[in-house]
Amino acid sequence: MLLIFLILLLCCSLVNFYFSIQILRRVSAAEIKISFFEIRWQVHKHIKRYRELTRAESGYTGFAWYGYWLSLAAMLISVIWLCVLLGASSNLHF
């Protein structure tokens, strides 16, 4: 069970990174300066701008916005379950 949540965490992290890149590519295409040195922090800085850009362009929020938040939530849930499972398994040995 522990391995399943660890694999889920890894997959969710990769999906989150993919959506982060998509968000930054779209914002960069709108000629907004992005520092790729701090790529993970730039997403939180520009995610609101991404939503505004995609809404102005098509009337809808872009798919990467939803994917980013859903994968981030899945990552957090996986981390919580991993901590719970690790705590439960360490209590059994004592």
* DSSP calls for 39-56: HHHHHHHHHHHHHHHHHH
The reported pLDDT for the residue numbered 74 is 95
CA distance 76 to 29: 30
- Structural tokens at position 13: 């992290």
The reported pLDDT for the residue numbered 36 is 67
Give yes or no for a contact between 9 and 82, defined as CB atoms under 8 angstroms apart. yes
Residue-level pLDDT, tens digit, the chain, 94 residues: 888 889 999 999 999 999 998 998 898 888 877 776 766 677 888 899 999 999 999 999 999 999 999 999 999 999 999 999 888 776 655 4
- Structural tokens at position 39: 């790529």
The position carrying tokens 């996986």 is: 78
Tell me the whole-structure pTM to 2 decimals. Answer: 0.84
The position carrying tokens 């590519």 is: 25
